[in-house]
Structure formats: structure tokens, C-alpha cells
Structure 1
Amino acid sequence: MDPGRREMMANARPNRNRNITGPRADPKTRIAKTTRGEKSGKTAHKASRYLTSDQQSLEFVADEDRFVLRQSKKKADIRVREGRAMPIDRLAFNLRYIDKERDVFDDDDDDIEIELQAPETIVEQLGTDQLDQLQSDMESLLVLEGDPTNRQYWEALQALCKDQKSKLGPLGREDRVLSSVAEDIDKILKPKTCDQLEALETQIRAKLRSDEDIDTDYWEQLLRNLLVWKSKATLTRIFQTAVESREKLLKEKRSSGKQQAQPQQRQQKSSLLPSVAARPIGLPEKPGPPLPPPGGGRPSDNEDASQATKALYDREAARGISENEEIFTAEEAVPAHVKPRWTDRRGARKPRYFNRVQMGYEWNKYNQTHYDHDNPPPKVVQGYKFNIFYPELEDKTKAPTFKIIREHGRRRGQSHAAAGEADTCLIHFIAGPPYEDIAFRIVDREWDFSAKRERGFRSTFDRGILQLHFQFKKIFYRK
């Protein structure tokens, strides 16, 4: 401390001989310094709102991991949806109904119709190379996965894959000896619950750690088999939870779909489609020569009436139709020159279908000028959803196909229609015995093949249903 200040504090009275530059006693200007490391309450609160660089790095890595995991699950769903799933995709698809972090906007409306496959069944069907690939894929997911239930699922699958690989590999002399008692061990472990297996595991580990004179090989083999059965019990429990959740959602969807479908199906007999196809696109309705009518259908004496077809039809009809959809039945006769010869023989059947046409308004410059939301322009066709049922194809290795037929020599991109009207074409579906070809008249515009969810393009054949869903490209005019 400064000598002058010490003297001042010792003597209550000011010292006339003190250094003029020394500190003066003034109770109003006394300052108490905070100790090093202390912060005022306001400053500490403000600092707590900001992360350190290490914390920011950890948060960034965690966000990146969540994004990569979500994209991996999304890709698996797409491959399952399109019928080209790998084993890891089928296994990941099972978790969609119990995954708490799943984004519902990644789901497709028809995903709930896809059957779940038991994990144990998937693993047992794989060879050694496929098991190696599956284990590598599971390691990648397990590193990113944070949900405890999902981690249990993947860890149990790893144990199951390891056991399956050991069964497929060559057996040594010791393995052959131990495998002779494996069946007896499995008989002991199979009926036990997960809790009972955990209790037995504790007892076996205690016995192996003890100094008792025991058959170590037997007890170690028993422990290995126990861990496999424990993994199977865990997988069964998680898979059963997913199945129950799916069945509950499926029941709710079908019950709500039936309620919506009943009033809509009563309107099916009204002649909606001729007016749809004949209406000008993007222009006000005015008198003039309409487009060729979409066709009134053919006699259905030979229509497929099998139980399998009826079940598929009823399930599709139960989904109902959306606000912007209408039932589509504009069937046309297949041109004679493209008919296959085998259809003349006895037993050919006409396939059943449940198709929808998507309608909407196009707010182009003309319509914005002449219409508003209170007086909207005429609806135009914006897309189609074809669902054609082929449950009993003779050659199930060949998926049905389709092609576009344009009459009068018109080619793609050319227009022969009058001003304000739309060209039409035939879409011709070919499947093979015992089903006849079938054709529909549709508006001929360029399709949007985008994979975006809101565009909804789909071309698949799965479980006897050919699905072709597409929308037309939207045309934007630049100024």
C-alpha cells in the first residue's frame, strides 16, 4: 500500500506533509475491486447464453450426424417403396413405426400398406458375403443412432449376424464337439423370456468367474447361445411393437377411408370425364367443337372377378379420393393392330382398375386477369393415378408395361387441336396372359418425372398392382 495512504488511514486527520500526489481519504470515492475470476450477475448470465467454441463444434457434429442418419433412413424407405431394397433397408424400414425422431413428412401415404418382415427371417436368408455387407452397414448406422431402442435393435442384429456367420463357416474339431450339445442348449433357452435369460446370464458369468471345477467349454458355449437367444428375444419384442403400431395406423386409415369413399362412390355414375377432357386448358369455357369424348367403356362380360382381384380393388377403393381428384373411367378400345394374338383364345380376362384423375385451377396470366377466387376458371386435368390389378399373371417375372399411342400421325410435342383445346392420346397397358390389354384416353401433355413428394411420380408393380401416378409439368411464362 502507498505509505501516504497508510499514514492517512492510521491518523484520522490529514497530514500536511503528505505527498500531494498521494491518494486522499474520501468515503464517497472508495472502490472495492472484485477478486480475479468473479463476474457480476448480469455479465455471468449474458455469458451463459453463448457456447464456447468446443461446445459449438460438438453441437455442429451432432446436427450433422442427425442429418446423415435421417437421409440414410429416407433412402432406405425409397428403395423399399420401389421394390429394390437391400437387407439393411428392410431392417431399417421396420423401425419407422416406433422411431420417436422420425419426421412424418418423409413418409408416403402408401408406405403403411407395405408388409414388415421379421428381422430373424431376413438374416437367416443371407449368405456370408451379404452378412459381411450387412454388418458394415449396421456399424455405420449404429455410430449415428442415438435412440436407445433403436440401438438395442441394431446391437441385437449384430449378435444375430455373428451367430449366422459362424453357422455358415467351416467347423473345427472343437466346434463339431460343441455343436453336438447345441440342440440341447437351445431347447433349454428357447422357452425363456428376456428377463429369465438375463438372470441366467448373471448366474453363468458368476459360475465362470468362480473357482469351481466345471466344464468350462460347456458353460462358455451355453453363454454364447444365451446371448444369441437374448438378442432374438429383444428383436422379437421390438418388432412386435412395430407391427402393433402399424396395424393400429392401418386400421385407422382404412376406417376413415371407407367413410370418405361412400359418398364419393355414389357420384361415380355421373359423367364427369367427358366434360373434363372437352374443357379448354387455361381458357374460359366457350361454345365450340369439343374434344373427342374419352370413351364410354367396353362390355365387361369377361372382367376379372377373382377373389384376389376383388380384395385388391376393395383395398384401393377404401382409400377414397382427395378433394382435387375424381374417379377416372375413360376406357377406350385397344386398336386392333396392336392387340396380341393370344387374346383371341378362350379364357382371356379384362383387368379391373381403380383410377383417379387430378383436377385443379391454373392461375396463368389470362386466368388471373379474367377470374378470381370467388369466380374461378374452369378446372383442368393436372395428372392421373392409374391402379390396375394383375394378381394372377402367368409370368410373374415380367412386369406389365405401358405405351403412348398418338393417332393421325401426330408425334410427341406436336399439336393438332384447335385453339383453346387440348390434344389427347391413348395410354395402352400390356400385361400378358391371362389379362387382355387395356387402354384409356388421356390429355396429351408433358409429364413431370420429378421425385419430389408434391409431384408424386410413381411407376411400380408390386403384389399384383401396377401403379402409374404422374402429373403434368407446369408451364411458366417469363416476361
Structure 2
Amino acid sequence: MSDDKDRDRDRNRERDRDRERDRGKDRDRERDRDRDRERDRDGERDRMDRDRDRSEERDRYRGRDKENQRDRERDRDRSKERNKKDRDRSEERDRSRDIDRDRKYRDRSRSRDKKKSSSEKDRSKSRSRSRDKKSSSYKRNRKDYSDSDSDSDSSSGSDDSDYERKRKSSSSTSTSSTSNKESKEERRKRKKQEKKEKEERKARETPEEKRKRRLEKKQRKEENKKSGLDLSGYSNMTNPFNDVNLQEKFVWKAKRDKLIKDGMKPSEYDEKFGKKRREEIQQEIEKAKAKREQREKEKEIWEEEKERLQRMRDMSNNEELEKKEEEFHFIQACKRCESRLLDNRSKPLDYLYRAIHMQSLPFDYRGNRDPVMLIQSLDSTNELEELIEGLREFTYLDNDKSNLEFWDAALELTNYQLQLIESKNNETNNNGNGNGNGSGFGDSTALHHSLTPNIKSILSGKSYKELCDLEVDIIKKLESGSAMNVEYWETLLKHLKMYKASSFLSERFTENLKLKLSEMETEKYLKGVANDMNLPFNSENTDDNNNNQSNTTSTSTNNNNNNNNNNSNYKNKETKDEFDEDNDFEEQFDLEVPLEQKYYAWHDKHRPRKPRFFNRVHTGYDWTKYNRTHYDYDNPPPKVVRGYKFNIFYPDLIDTTKSPQYFVSPSPDNPDTCILRFSAGPPYEDIAFKIVKKEWEKSHKYGYKCVFDDKGVLHLWFNFKRYRYRR
């Protein structure tokens, strides 16, 4: 027996050695395979680097060629521009040369024509001088012997002689201006002669003539100044150019000196070029005035447009401020109602607020009251008036259409209840005073009370939609004139509005109550799911271990059992150490991403709403060699995300044959994250979450789960792949 045991032990040892040898060979083979794979990867990386360097070098050469081509084109354009300028300059030079040649030819022909008449003009000039001398001597002799009357005659005679002398001198100046270019000697003689003649004229003139000449000279100066002022409409002190020398006459001195040297007199130059210059200045000033007026008009138009835009901006700002103020008052009114509900000091308005906002408030069996019964139970005018004031505030501030219909219906029913109570109070007061006629409201409702049973039998038990259809039929009958008893139908229509308002309030309250109860059931289910999710994330591994243990044979000896127990203890210890190393954590995850507002095809039939969810994120420490070196259990490394558990609830899904789907899209703001979007049918909107961008482990062995169960819950559980460094 002992030999058999020894033989079995030896056989087991040999088998273990063979297994260990096979494992060593497998490890060597795997190491060689990893080395070959690493070598191939390095070769591929080197090849990619060489290709990238080659492509960069090629791009660099191409860029350099493009720059050289651009420089050549730029040089070609510059040479073309330079050649064009040289051509234009040569053409301008040839044109100026032709103009100078034509001018010289004209001057030569003009001087030839003028020389012919110069001798005749000189003779006429000498005759006029001798005649002037005789007349002047005659006047001097006559002046000595004449009386005071003859003095005036002599002055008139001198005026005539002066006029004739001026006429002759003007003719002589015209001849001199049309003559050819004079030499310096001739010009000096002519100037000397003119100066001598001017002195003789001044010596011959009488004091009256001298005074008259100076007065005319002064008037001419003033006229020149005024002409400059009238021309521009400005003065030296008042002009938009801030020019203090505006009225001074501009003279082209180089041209004037040249023309005077050529033989033209200064007075002749002023007469010839002054008028032309004044006309040009006048045209320029008119153009400048027109441009300035146009600019002023454009400026006025722009200022008006600016003011209009500013007004529009102010109006939009005021509208935004008004909207913000209304939102603030609405929020304050809602907070007042919520605080009174929480403090157990509720008013009728607060119960109506709870009926319409039941989902956002904690459930209270005593606080959920039917709005119709609540309003009908009020019998005080003060309470009804206070309720009407609060309802009017909510109808003005609340922008939700469905809520606005609720507030309008409640306001209409409250007004009707207030009218009934006031009519009852008036009837009691009138009966106490002994007056049986009643008030005006009582008279108008006398027919109503007689028809009350008939009206109740017609209107009671109908839904809101049926009452709306009945109202349309009654209005059509009254408008067509086919109604026999108009008063009856008007009374029925009046009561119909009250029944319609009460039916709308009751149906809305019932719908909100059902939604609240379904949410409470969903929350209970959520708590159950949360308790189930407190299990370890990879619970499948334990099942695999149990299956492996069950598959082992039971025909081993006690020693084998001991060895197996030791091996299992070693494995459990190893897994425990690994679990202690991992330090897994699970936390609640609700990083929801807002999506763009969509309008679905079923938007009119069903009210869209977002599904409820209960998500968890699986995190832990990655104890790499670096983290073991630099961190410990007291100072752990940063957590890393290892997986997620998504539980999305679709209990009211209309089309249950189509299960919800999920889509993964890249995140636009961060390349290390992605968007996980869940989509289902009506009446649920899409919902999205931002998760870490890593490769998923889609094997059930590693905790992957994607199931849509019978209770309408979509379970999506997954882990990320974990890569271990191996040499």
C-alpha cells in the first residue's frame, strides 16, 4: 500500500515537473513572440518616421520652390513697372519738347509780325508827346490869368487831356506787351521813361486830382478785399479752415517775374490772370461747399440712424429687464407658496399651486386636495377675493401655456363662486329688510334656479372635450338664429363655462396625481436596484471559480485534498491580495450632458419628458511599478475610472417591441472623453452622459451587460480593458 502511495506521489511529481516544463516553454515562446512583435513594431515605427521625414523634406523643398517662384514673379512685375515708368517718362519728355518747339515757333512768328508795326507806333507816340507838351504849356499860361470860374474849366480840360493821355499810354503799353523780348538796356530805358512820365503827371495834377486819384486807389484796394470776401463767403477770422491769411491774394511769383521780364506789365498780369484765377477759386469753393453740405446731410442721417438704433437697443434692454423682473416676481411667488406649504400654514392658492406642481414637491396625502372641491368649499368673500388676486398674479407672470390654462380655469370658477356667495348674501339681506324683489343678480338668476335640474342632467358626467364640443354647437346655434328659446341657451352656455372649467381642473389634477404616484413607485424600484448594485462589480468571476471547483474530481487522496486546499488557499490569498491592491470603489454618476432641443413627430400627441436614471461609476487605484514606488496606502495615487453601470428607466414606453438604443460619439471639447447617448421612443427624450474614452471589455466574463428587462429598465454595465506591461 505504501509502495502504491509512493508510486502515485512520484507520478504526480513527474506530472507537475512536466507541467512546469511546459509552462516554461510556453513562457519562452510567448516571450519570443512578444520580442518579435516589439521588433516589428519598432521597424514599423522607424519606417513611419522615415516616411514622415521624407515627406517633410519634400514639403520643405516645395515651399522653397514656391518662394523662389514668387520672388521671380515679383522681380518680373517690378521690371515691368520700371519699364512702364521709363516709357512714360520718355513720352512726357518728348511731349514737352514738342510743346517748347511749337511755342518758340509761335513766338518767332508773332515777333516778326510785331516788328513791322513798331516804327509806325513809335511815330504816333512821339506826336502824342509833343501834343501833350503844348497843351500843358497852354494850361500853365492860362492858369495865371484866369479867375475862380476858369479854374473849373481848366480842371475839366486837364481831365480831358488826362483821358487822352491814358488812352494813348494804354495803346503804347499794348504795343510794348505785344513786342518781342526786350533787352536789358531797352527795358531799363522803358522803365526810366515810364517813371519820368509818372512823375510829370503827378507834378501837373491839381490837389483835387491828387485827392481823387488817392481816393480811387483806396477804393480799388477795398474792392479787391471785398471781392475776396464775397468770393468765398468767409473772412480771415471766420472760416472753417482756421486760415488767418484767407483773403490775401495768392501770386505765382516765378511765373509773374518771368512774364514781367518778357515785357508784360504788372497791371496787365493782374488783369489777365486774376479774373481766371478768381473763377477757378469760385468753382473750387462751390464744389467744397457742396461736398461740405453733402457731408453734413450724411452726418445728420447717420446721427438719426444712430439715435434710432440706440432707441431700439434701449427698448430691447428694457424688455429684457422687464422679462427678468417678471421672472423674479414669479419665482418669489412660487417660493412664497412652497414655504407656506412646508410650514403647514397653507392658503387656498397654495393648494392650487401644489396641484399644478405636484412632481417637484414632496408628496402629502392631506395636502393634495381637488381644486374644484377646494374652491366650492370657500364661503367667505375675503378668502375668495384674496384667491382671485393671487390667481391674477400667476396668470400674469406664468408663461407656461398649460399652467396658464389651469390658472384661467381656476380664476373663472372662483369668480363664479364669488358671484354666487354675493347673490346669497344680497338675498338674505333683502329678506331681512322685507323686500321680496331681490337684487339685480337675483332677478337674472330666477330662471337659472328653475332650470338647474335640467342643466345639471345635461352637463354633469361629461369630459372636458365633450363640453368643448357642446359649447361649439351652442354658439353655432345662437349665431345662426335657429334657437327658439334664446334665454335658455344663453343660461346653458353660462353654466357650461363653469362646468368646463371644473372638468379641466379635475382632469389636470388627476393626471398630475397619477404621474406623482408612478414616480413614487419608480423611486421604490430605484432603491431596490441600488441595493442590488451594492454587490461586487465582477461577480461573474466568483461563479466561474465555483464552477471550476465543482468540475474537479473527487477521487483524490487525502494528501491531494490537502494540496488542493493549499492551492485554493493560495489562490484565494492571491486574489485577496490583488483585490486589496485594486481597492475598488463605486460612486454615484450623474454627469448629464445637455442636448439640443428637438421637436419630435409625436410632440403633439405625447408630452415629452426625460427618463429617470440611476448610474454608478467604478473607480480604483492602478498600482503600477511607478505608483508603488511613489505612493503607499496612506498616500494613494489618483483614482482611475474602470467602468460604468447605467440604469435608465422607461416604464411608460409606448412601443415596447423596440428596445432603447445607445450611441457613442466623440466629445467636441475634450479628446479624452466621449458622449454616450441613450435614445428610446415616445414619450421619452434622448439623454446623454460624458464618460471616459477607453476601449470597452464586451465580454460577459468581465462584467459586460446590456439588457432591457420587462419592467422597462435598460441596464448597460461595462468595464474598460486593462493593459499590463510585460517584458
Structure number with larger C-alpha Rg: 2
Q: Which protein is richer in helix relative to its size?
A: 2
The TM-score with structure 2 as length reference comes to 0.29
The structure with higher relative contact order (CA 8 Å, sep 6+) is 1
The TM-score with structure 1 as length reference comes to 0.43
